[in-house]
Amino acid sequence: MRRAQRGASKPPVFTNKSAIVTGGGSGIGAALTRALVTAGADVVCADLDLAAAEKTVAGVSGPGSATARDVDVTDADQVLQAVEDVIGTHGRIDLMFNNAGISLLGDTEDLTLAQWDAIIDVNVRGVVHGVHAAYPRMVAQGGGHIVNTASAGGLMAGGLLTSYVMTKHAVVGLSLALRTEAASRNVGVTAICPAAVDTPILDKGELGPVRGRDYFLKGQGIRRPIDPDVLAGKVLAAVAADKSLVVEPVQARIAWRIARLSPAFVLRSGTRFVEKQRARAR
């Protein structure tokens, strides 16, 4: 794939590149599908909700193409079959976006084991299934790029979101570790670590009276969530430049730096925020 030059202003081009985007029916996945098609890629928009994937595909335009596919990322065989079908059609798999994810918001003592299992299955095993299916084939074909959607919560920690934070830390760790292995195999690995993105996940994941949108915005010091199409453009630019992490917006990068420089300060701030959220919910 073409690598962007430092300082280049032109959008990345992925002409004739084959791609799979999981969780493509909405949010970041839908935006990635649109951006990839605009950049010339041939995309499989995969989602557990086939109707949502079909809606995404119906709204794309560009030199590339998109097809909808029903894929449950917790089913390793379904993910593997999607990759094999792309290889059967295009001869290779160039881009694998492991994007599907869910959130659970609320006090950890309220979580059931079934909820823990559900978020681990989607957010961790779903990514593992994508890596397991695509990475060996990228190694065999001599190149490719894997993009795993994590979160700013994969770089920092926030209470009332413990299960989500745990899974996203796992995704970041997997991505950075695999990147060190994959570099000599001409396979790139990038983790997406955004703060609040204007997607349906902001209004989901509530446990009890704690509201998702209020938490995700105020908890990260962000007035407005990131537009998913803006994020998707930044992600494709990062892929073209073979960057390891995409941390957006600038407030998230600042908070990340502060967390590394003064973890005790961030811990105290996070503790106060949790108490304010609990007080607001009473």
Q: Which segments in the chain show pLDDT lower than 70?
A: 1-9, 200-223, 281-282
Please count the other Cβ atoms lying within 10 Å of the Cβ belonging to residue 31.
25
Query: What pLDDT was estimated at residue 208?
Result: 44
Query: What pLDDT was estimated at residue 202?
Result: 58
Torsion angle of the four alpha carbons 23, 125, 144, 18, in this order, in degrees rounded to the nearest 10 = -30
**Are 234 and 246 within 8 A, CB to CB?**
yes
Closest CA to 161 of 96, 97, 236, 111: 111
Closest CA to 42 of 16, 68, 60: 16
Query: What pLDDT was estimated at residue 30?
Result: 98
Three-state DSSP class for 275? helix
**In sequence order, what are the beta bridge partners of 19?**
43, 95
Query: What pLDDT was estimated at residue 210?
Result: 45
Closest CA to 21 of 241, 239, 245: 239
Q: Which amino acid is at 137?
A: R
Pull the structure tokens for residue 211.
């509201």
Q: What structural domains and CATH numbers belong to the chain?
A: 18-281 (3.40.50.720)
Query: What pLDDT was estimated at residue 221?
Result: 56
Residues identified as active-site: 164
pTM: 0.89
